[in-house]
Structure 1
Amino acid sequence: MHQRSTGSAALATEHSSGTVRIADLYQQGCAKLRFPKKHDGGSLEAVMINTAGGITGGDRLDWRFKAGRDCTLTVTSQACERLYRALEETARIRIELVVEDNSRLNWLPQETILFDGCRAQRRIDAALGDDARLMIVEPLLFGRAAMGETVGQGAFRDAWHIRHREKVIHADALRFDGEIADLLQRPVIAAGGVAIATVLAVDTAGAHRLEALLEPARRMIGKAGGASFWQIDETGKLLARLVAEDGYTLRKTLVPLIELLNDGAALPKSWAL
């Protein structure tokens, strides 16, 4: 019988004397957070660790992050998350992001790897203040092509809800259920690719900034996907979707795209390990 894993972690930041600091920190179960030392005190980086080594049926993981006023917070993961085969129950992952006024939060976990027979649901909820910036990056790998692994069947659902002043400004839903291998072959889904990524950038006071990045993003993506821009009042959002034949090829486009949308800043060091 599978021993279920549960974990919950929460982090809130504050700005004090020109430095972004930890205001509140909570860790329970298999969810842990580590904080690499940075020379730039104007931002904070948090690294998520799932000490269970992966997620399978019945597991529960909750992550909550708040970038306090005037803070820049980047959240990443120590390694790729793994969704393993589940016999019956569905694993559930909940992510809550809060970006207060004049703040910025970058959600940059490494790839989530789906294994044959996995069953998981993930939900991302984000609340943005005024003059707030949010970037969400979620890459998915269906098996590990370099190791000859494929995903025949499984179930994975992903739902995003982004709000500004309690108004929904973005909703996204992704569902793979049943014969995943067949779904990935469809031209309108992945055309045989086994690595995909969704990238969302939102700026509640700088629609013009994101709009100016649309064409550079499209040139960078090329035939590997597409990008679109929308403006809602003063809020701008840029959404990109990428498809590739494997994780390595996906990263060749994804990494420079993230850097473009993040003002040229390099990715967290964990991405290079």
Structure 2
Amino acid sequence: MSVTAPSRGLQRYDGALDLAVGAGKLLRSHFTPPMRLFRPYAEAGEPRTLVVANVAGGVVGGDRLRVSLDVGADEALLATTQAAEKVYRSDGAEAVLSNTYRVGPGAVLEMLSSGTILFDGSRLLRSTEVDVVGGGCFAYAETVVLGRIARGEVFANGSLKDRIRLRRDGRLVWADDFGLDGDIAASMAARAGLDGAKALGTLLLVGQGAGQSVEIARAQPLDDGLLIGASALSADCVVIRILARDPATARTALAGIWSASRAAWLGRPARMPVIWSV
């Protein structure tokens, strides 16, 4: 493991975290501030577990942060984040977050984000690149909260550009772009937009047996202001979307689908990581 100090000339963070596991051991672990990596003891029934953290306490315009996780053949890794990432009001510059995940043959990577909170006036450009090789399995979850809802603040000014690319054996199989800019309030209120939702969740499940998560998602109870949609891109590739007016409702729905899906699909305990309860 190595740690590199930031350049004294930087006024914004340019941080990265790069980890690779394979052949039953840690092959590579490198990070630069403000990114940190924690490796708690795995709970019973769980694979190697790690927590990705931004110890700066949030993201501001001009920050550039990168995370790369590479899981080698027949390895298993459960990754989560320390807390919801807060993206603060910008002075005009975009914050750029780049995530890269690679899953080798027969490997399993679960990447469960604690979510992202966009403060009013924030500007975020995020890209997520995924490559699943051979018979690998990949599960990804992310929730975006549009404003500090508990304080009565809604994300009405700024911009969000969220890009996901999924490849299987190097071939592009799914491309998704979501954006909010301009008259954000109108987009959030429109029936063809977010229909009043202030939180949106995405689950992506890839690998043999992932298709059963469609019925799990459709069986979730729908509270007022909660919408859940599940699409099977193929028999072993599923995208699930969650829209909710209350972020806590979105988080509960995501946890229910995630827990039940990993139990049925991967044979893992039907639970969220302990850090989600801290």
TM-score over 0.5 (shorter chain) = yes
Distance in structure 2 (CA, Å) of the matches to 1:139 and 1:107: 12
Residue equivalent to 2:22: 14
Tell me the matched-pair count: 261
Which AA in structure 2 matches 1:7?
Answer: G
Q: Alignment partner of 2:131: what SS? A: strand
Distance in structure 2 (CA, Å) of the matches to 1:39 and 1:226: 31
Q: Alignment partner of 2:220: what SS? A: helix
Query: Which deviations, in whole Å up to 9, do the C-alpha atoms of 1:200-247 show, x marking residues without a partner?
Result: 1111xx1xx22333222212164522111122xxx6211111111121
The answer as to 2:8 corresponding to 1:3 is no
Instruction: After TM superposition, give the deviation of residue 133 of structure 1 in Å.
Output: 0.6
Q: Verify the 8 A CA contact 2:259 2:270 in the aligned structure 1.
A: yes
> TM-score normalized by structure 2?
0.89
Distance in structure 1 (CA, Å) of the matches to 2:42 and 2:62: 37
| Structure 2 runs not aligned, ≥5 long | 1-9, 264-268
Instruction: After TM superposition, give the deviation of residue 39 of structure 1 in Å.
Output: 4.8
Distance in structure 2 (CA, Å) of the matches to 1:228 and 1:85: 34
Q: Alignment partner of 1:146: what SS? A: helix
Q: Verify the 8 A CA contact 2:143 2:251 in the aligned structure 1.
A: no
Q: Verify the 8 A CA contact 1:10 1:63 in the aligned structure 2.
A: yes
Distance in structure 2 (CA, Å) of the matches to 1:174 and 1:150: 18
Considering fraction of residues, name the structure with more strand. 1
Instruction: After TM superposition, give the deviation of residue 41 of structure 1 in Å.
Output: 8.3
Q: Verify the 8 A CA contact 1:154 1:179 in the aligned structure 2.
A: no
Residue equivalent to 1:194: 198
Distance in structure 2 (CA, Å) of the matches to 1:66 and 1:254: 25
Which AA in structure 2 matches 1:12?
Answer: A
> TM-score normalized by structure 1?
0.90
Residue equivalent to 1:141: 145
Which AA in structure 1 matches 2:166?
Answer: I
| Structure 1 runs not aligned, ≥5 long | none
Distance in structure 2 (CA, Å) of the matches to 1:89 and 1:144: 20
Instruction: After TM superposition, give the deviation of residue 128 of structure 1 in Å.
Output: 1.1
Instruction: After TM superposition, give the deviation of residue 266 of structure 1 in Å.
Output: 1.5
Instruction: After TM superposition, give the deviation of residue 138 of structure 1 in Å.
Output: 1.2
Which AA in structure 2 matches 1:266?
Answer: R
